[in-house]
């Protein structure tokens, strides 16, 4: 494994990465990247029948099976569903995971999404990317991972339904053509068997995998390909501003505002 070739998708809940960026993770894996999927919670709120501890155990197992498809590792930050907030404790948890993984590429939720868990997770990941390299930022972990070198490339995924919390369309910066790996993305999502029933009962949504494909097809139409995943790069002060995904994936990255 080449030094620095690690990618981390750090989301709110198990199955978020599979919906939003698993295709791009699969492409990076093919390019020799080590893959990590982390979530703020174990998905303890994702059932209409099972108690939190039981559904969390099930969902951790599903997330681990999904990550293993890319020979990757799953990590949980140990927060609770519905209570992902920006706090000192949670900043430390997120930062410790960044330091443990030491990724060069990070994927996070879009800052404007349909629920607070996603939006808070976005802020936590953004802040962890910034402060993980600061030696005086202590996480209290025992043993604690050492600070990372520099700030990783940070990419926001498209929010659910491509809209912010006011129902307005969200503009993304570029798309990744995932046509060659849509089968892997589907295989990873199918690992999350518990969530089909949960979404059916709580959201009124069936066709768990088919909805993912429709979202990927809609993104693909905008990029002129069959299936795509949209991203927006964080380019604020001190963050890298060149597009690492473009460098690694070449013509599979369709640049421009969409």
CATH of 6-255, one of 2.60.40.1080, 3.20.20.80, 3.40.50.10320, 3.90.650.10: 3.40.50.10320
| Across 199-228, average pLDDT | 85
* Of the candidate ranges 96-105, 200-209, 223-232, the one whose mean pLDDT is the lowest: 200-209
| Across 113-123, average pLDDT | 97
- pLDDT score recorded for residue 3: 55
- pLDDT score recorded for residue 257: 56
pTM metric for this prediction: 0.95
Distances (CA, A) of 44 to 38, 55, 65, 78, 124: 15, 6, 18, 10, 19
The domain limits of the chain are: 6-255
Of the pLDDT bands very low, low, confident and very high (cuts 50, 70, 90), residue 1 is very low
- pLDDT score recorded for residue 202: 64
The secondary structure of residue 13, as a DSSP letter, is S
Which residue, among 127, 129, 126, 109, has the nearest Cα to 118 in the 3D structure? 109
Q: Find out whether 190 and 202 touch, Cβ atoms under 8 Å.
A: no
- pLDDT score recorded for residue 108: 98
- pLDDT score recorded for residue 205: 63
| Across 117-124, average pLDDT | 98
More confident of the two residues 57 and 210: 57
């Amino acid at each position: 494994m080449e030094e620095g070739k690690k990618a981390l998708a750090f989301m709110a809940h198990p199955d978020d990465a599979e919906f939003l960026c698993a295709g791009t993770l699969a492409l990076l894996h093919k390019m020799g990247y080590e893959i990590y999927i982390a979530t703020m919670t174990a998905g303890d709120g994702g059932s209409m029948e099972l108690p939190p501890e039981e559904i969390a155990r099930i969902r951790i197992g599903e997330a681990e099976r999904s990550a293993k498809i890319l020979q990757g590792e799953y990590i949980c930050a140990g927060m609770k569903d519905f209570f992902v907030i920006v706090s000192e404790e949670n900043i430390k948890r997120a930062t410790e995971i960044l330091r443990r993984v030491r990724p060069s590429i990070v994927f996070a939720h879009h800052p404007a999404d349909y629920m607070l868990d996603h939006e808070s997770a976005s802020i936590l990941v953004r802040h962890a990317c910034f402060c993980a390299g600061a030696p005086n930022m202590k996480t209290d972990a025992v043993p604690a991972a050492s600070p990372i070198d520099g700030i990783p490339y940070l990419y926001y995924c498209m929010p659910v339904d491509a809209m912010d919390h006011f129902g307005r369309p969200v503009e993304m910066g570029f798309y990744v053509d995932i046509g060659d790996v849509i089968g892997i993305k589907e295989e990873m999502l199918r690992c999350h068997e518990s969530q089909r029933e949960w979404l059916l009962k709580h959201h009124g949504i069936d066709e768990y995998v088919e909805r993912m494909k429709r979202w990927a097809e809609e993104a693909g139409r905008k990029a002129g390909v069959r299936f795509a995943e949209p991203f927006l790069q964080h380019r604020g002060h001190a963050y890298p501003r060149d597009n690492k995904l473009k460098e690694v994936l070449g013509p599979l990255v369709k640049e421009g505002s969409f």
